[in-house]
Structure 1
Amino acid sequence: MTDFHVSLVGRKDLSGEIYRQIRRAILDRRLRPGDPLPAGRELARALAVSRATVTVAYERLAAEGFVTSRQGSGTFVSELATPAEREKAGRRSTGTLQPRPIWEAMSPPVTFEPARFDFRSGLCDASLFPHGAWRRSVTWALRSGETTAGVYEHPAGHHDLRIAIARHIGNSRGIRASADDVIVTNGTQQALDVLARVLLAPGDGIAVEDPSYGPPRRLFKALGIRVIGVPVDRQGLVVDALPRGIRAVYVTPSHQYPLSVTMTLSRRQALLAWAERNNAAIIEDDYDSEFRFGGRPLEPLQTLDAKGRVVYVGSFSKTMLPTLRLGFLVTPPSLRAALNKAKFVSDWHSSTLPQAALARFIDEGAFARHLRRVSAIYRKRHQILADAISRDFAEHLELIPSTTGLHLTALARRMSADQIAAIARRAADRGVAVQVLSNFAVGAIPRAGVMLGYGAIPTSHIEEGVHLLRACFDSEP
């Protein structure tokens, strides 16, 4: 028997109301073909009506073909005649409520359609995920009882995971932080959301890199925050171009998205000095910093910060899987209480099971082993792709040197942004997915260039994909 809700409160035509609500449930597919309806006697008892009232409703549904009765078995939902009839009968009003204008103007959420040669950035290779080791950590978390206690977690997250994160970033990035400084979030985007709610009021200004990743900008704008683009050159964010009167700066200094440059030490020091002079906050997104393939790593801004002006943001979306939805932020003590409250009113806390499993995964050394393994594979892809761009695209593209992250960026030498976009569309028709740099512009004239990620594409497919992309530069529109 399928349970479903029928309300007769304040209704007069009881059998008609039972008929209409069951019919609606069938049209909406809440009751599916083959689902059994409650026996007439049972439904009458549950609704406190006579059995005859239910029988009249069932007979009407049967007469119209919505249900069928089987002698000795019961009453079951029928398959409606055609999809068109279902659509016509089940059509709903679009409603009179309207969203704020900002949501109409905002571009739709990012979706990733499959591509044979996928050079899009922001993706990792799911086939490299250590399913066996992760399964053991999840099993341990389930058996430990911590995830099945039936109580809510602290807003900052699972304590063991916060300890593990503090130790991991201390060893890998030199960040000095305690578990109390760590707040677990549902990825980078939520970390930025709670930070914006704590640091900024509607009408306040935040500076972002231009070009930069779109979702954070859309988030800030949705919260009523003014977003000001600041140019990026080969040394990172141009600190001298920061406007007065802004309350915060959002930067990706380790591997700027999308240009791939690393902010120099002198620029980092200048940014910290600017924040102190202007009483501003710095939100440091340490994007893709786990994957470094050469050169001496520069210290995060957070490790150079002596005044408590930097909030450090990290994520496990590339090192593990985006579907886990786990990230974190490291806060100065002065913001800790407010950020815990903001996380609480946002969603109380992130899911406890994957947090407990990840804590175990890190503590047992499985995370470090996984990073070493995938870094070796990504290093090889990085080299193959960098060599191919330098060799085959020298006439059209200038590769921006980069030894960090999971994507490379190349600037167009003579082509316009529109011409590059046309090439990307031709490539997509051939099964090659790339991103154009102009899509990441904030306010300045869009730069012409392409981004090529190597996180999702198999190593053996890179050369063929690059060959197809190269042909698109020569073909006519």
Structure 2
Amino acid sequence: MRPTVDVPLTVNRECAVPLAVQVAGQLRDAMRAGGLRAGERLPSTRGLAALLGVSRTVVTDAYQQLYAEGWLDGRHGSGTYVADGTLPHENGQARAVGAPVSVPAGAPFSAPLSAPRRAHREAAPRGVVDLRPGRPWVSGYDETAWRRAWRSAGDLPLNAFPDPYGHPELRELLAEHLRRARAVPVGAGNVMVTRGTGNGLDLIAATLLRPGDRAGVEEPGWRAARRIFASRGAEVVPCPVDEQGVIVEALPDDLRVLYTTPAHQFPVGGRLPIPRRERLLAWARRTGAIVVEDDYDAEFRYDVAPLPALYGLDPGRVVLLGTLSKSLGPDVGLGWLVAPADLLDAVAERRMYVADRTSGPVQRAVTTLLERGDLDRHLRRMRLEYARRRAAIVEALGPYVRGDTAGLHVMVTLPAGVVPGLVRRAGERGVLLDTTEAHHHGPTRVHGLVLGYGSASRADVRRGCAVIRELMPAEGA
């Protein structure tokens, strides 16, 4: 057993910052600076609590946060260690923010390529349990707050010259929301109001990509991202993921843009640990690539505080996309794009060129929801409700569940040959399911189900999981 490393820590009881946050922050800084190195053993929670004169709960909470971020590794019977793969900053100094984003001159204003027509996804018939991902519980909103927001929207006159950046008041409120909810230090000057994630991603693609540029998308990953990049003439490059997220070492050096979902990888469900986030940003700085971070359901976490957004770690190389489609509903049609000011200006110019805009009344209504705190209250209610549904899935299918710490979906791992028949038989019994196969660009690497619990009631979640459990092969079969 390795000796325990001596950790120089202090706590300030007069500071407004909670003690557990102080301890976690000092340990994190020590690992970043190289004072604590991979493989070194930390004191026990009891021992460190005694040394600092705090309760054991304080140290336990600090360790749990660092476990969640990927900084620490627990080894049964031997203690807590600094995880392998942590990257201290060079010479103990903080890394510099990346160079400004270069926008290609004369990048094309290409129209999206036509795609095969397909029926849009409709609500499941009465009595059918829909466990497909991608839909929130749209009936959970506060009707009084919703009506009040739309009355305020009706009080404003129509604008003959919509601002391509969005209403200034809403941009300020969104910046504050991101600072409060996602610890993103951003000002309104870096925020653009969009019609949602797809709109924001298409604006970025139209601004940055020339025909033939290579654009990376996680594999498996969000199908719409592949279609958007392809529609702008890019060569789509599948970038493999594991249970934690995108594999940095597998990224090619010639990508112009990489689309990633680090807070809750879709569909596998992993969250990118802090050390890997730093390696990803180091790759982006070295290659000149732009990382597009989709923060699509980061508001919903069920274990510890959310990990910091990539944008907050390096605003010079990251574009952050967000949306209200998961927190309120897709029909609201509002999201945001956070980027360096020069890139945001280029996107605004393109937006004006193609007459793309976000509805003014929708912006006014969302402004009211944010001003009055209605959106925050809604998120708190839904976080509790979704946590109960997620718990029902874990209780029923626990050993097979992956990616259950956040968001509105989990992955259920299954042998490849089992999935098609199980989905078919579940459908015959009134349970609609989605598979990982549908989210691959090439051959299926990850096999299983993608279970969404946003749009199904708790009773329906339990019923659907019971059907799945009955149809799963017996263990050892």
TM-score for both structures, normalised by structure 1: 0.73
Look up the equivalent residue of 1:216 and give its one-letter code.
Answer: A
Change (3 A) 1:102 1:324: closer
Instruction: Give the Å deviation of 1:127.
Output: 1.2
Q: Is the 8 A contact 2:195 2:334 kept in 1?
A: yes
Instruction: Give the Å deviation of 1:468.
Output: 1.9
Q: Determine the structure 2 residue equivalent to 1:380.
A: 388
SS in 1 for 2:393: helix
Could you report, residue by residue, the CA deviation over 1:288-317 in whole angstroms, capped at 9, with x for unpaired residues? 1000111242111011105x0100000000
For residue 339 of structure 1, the aligned residue among 334, 342, 347 is: 347
Q: Does 1:299 align with 2:308?
A: yes
Look up the equivalent residue of 1:429 and give its one-letter code.
Answer: E
For residues 298 and 150 of structure 1, the distance between their equivalents in structure 2, rounded to whole angstroms, comes to 39
Change (3 A) 1:223 1:101: closer
Change (3 A) 1:273 1:101: closer
SS in 2 for 1:420: helix
For residues 112 and 187 of structure 2, the distance between their equivalents in structure 1, rounded to whole angstroms, comes to 42
Q: Determine the structure 2 residue equivalent to 1:142.
A: 154
Which of the pair has more CA radius of gyration?
1
For residues 138 and 214 of structure 2, the distance between their equivalents in structure 1, rounded to whole angstroms, comes to 38
Alignment RMSD (CA, Å): 1.9
Q: Determine the structure 2 residue equivalent to 1:327.
A: 335
Q: Does 1:449 align with 2:448?
A: yes
Change (3 A) 1:465 1:332: same
Q: Determine the structure 2 residue equivalent to 1:76.
A: none
Look up the equivalent residue of 2:467 and give its one-letter code.
Answer: L
Change (3 A) 1:101 1:302: closer
Q: Determine the structure 2 residue equivalent to 1:356.
A: 364
Could you report, residue by residue, the CA deviation over 1:402-437 in whole angstroms, capped at 9, with x for unpaired residues? 31100111211xx22x53022112211221011101
Q: Determine the structure 1 residue equivalent to 2:169.
A: 160
For residues 445 and 187 of structure 1, the distance between their equivalents in structure 2, rounded to whole angstroms, comes to 29
For residues 220 and 196 of structure 2, the distance between their equivalents in structure 1, rounded to whole angstroms, comes to 21
Change (3 A) 1:374 1:296: closer
Look up the equivalent residue of 2:195 and give its one-letter code.
Answer: N
For residues 472 and 381 of structure 2, the distance between their equivalents in structure 1, rounded to whole angstroms, comes to 35
Q: Is the 8 A contact 2:197 2:296 kept in 1?
A: no
Instruction: Give the Å deviation of 1:246.
Output: 1.3
Q: Determine the structure 2 residue equivalent to 1:280.
A: 289
Q: Does 1:132 align with 2:159?
A: no
Could you report, residue by residue, the CA deviation over 1:194-235 in whole angstroms, capped at 9, with x for unpaired residues? 000111111000111100010111111111111101111122
For residues 293 and 377 of structure 1, the distance between their equivalents in structure 2, rounded to whole angstroms, comes to 11
Q: Does 1:460 align with 2:459?
A: yes
Q: Determine the structure 2 residue equivalent to 1:89.
A: none
For residues 285 and 189 of structure 2, the distance between their equivalents in structure 1, rounded to whole angstroms, comes to 24
Q: Does 1:112 align with 2:112?
A: no
Q: Does 1:197 align with 2:191?
A: no
Q: Does 1:258 align with 2:267?
A: yes
Query: Percent sequence identity over matched residues?
Result: 34
Q: Is the 8 A contact 2:390 2:404 kept in 1?
A: no
Look up the equivalent residue of 1:125 and give its one-letter code.
Answer: W
Could you report, residue by residue, the CA deviation over 1:65-117 in whole angstroms, capped at 9, with x for unpaired residues? xxxxxxxxxxxxxxxxxxxxxxxxxxxxxxxxxxx99645x573652341521
Q: Does 1:369 align with 2:397?
A: no
Look up the equivalent residue of 2:463 and give its one-letter code.
Answer: E
For residues 305 and 371 of structure 2, the distance between their equivalents in structure 1, rounded to whole angstroms, comes to 27
Unaligned runs of 5+ in 1: 1-99
Could you report, residue by residue, the CA deviation over 1:326-375 in whole angstroms, capped at 9, with x for unpaired residues? 11110111202111112223434211001011011101111111111111
Change (3 A) 1:264 1:444: farther
SS in 1 for 2:229: helix
Instruction: Give the Å deviation of 1:444.
Output: 4.2
Q: Does 1:206 align with 2:185?
A: no
For residues 273 and 444 of structure 1, the distance between their equivalents in structure 2, rounded to whole angstroms, comes to 29
| Greater CA drift, 245-254 or 151-160 | 151-160
| Greater CA drift, 437-446 or 183-192 | 437-446
Q: Is the 8 A contact 2:136 2:326 kept in 1?
A: yes
Look up the equivalent residue of 2:342 and give its one-letter code.
Answer: S
For residues 238 and 325 of structure 1, the distance between their equivalents in structure 2, rounded to whole angstroms, comes to 32
Could you report, residue by residue, the CA deviation over 1:28-50 in whole angstroms, capped at 9, with x for unpaired residues? xxxxxxxxxxxxxxxxxxxxxxx
Unaligned runs of 5+ in 2: 1-110
For residues 262 and 151 of structure 1, the distance between their equivalents in structure 2, rounded to whole angstroms, comes to 43
Q: Is the 8 A contact 1:198 1:338 kept in 2?
A: yes
Look up the equivalent residue of 1:175 and give its one-letter code.
Answer: V
For residue 406 of structure 1, the aligned residue among 401, 405, 408 is: 408
Q: Determine the structure 2 residue equivalent to 1:231.
A: 240
SS in 2 for 1:282: strand
For residues 107 and 261 of structure 1, the distance between their equivalents in structure 2, rounded to whole angstroms, comes to 32
Q: Is the 8 A contact 2:291 2:319 kept in 1?
A: yes
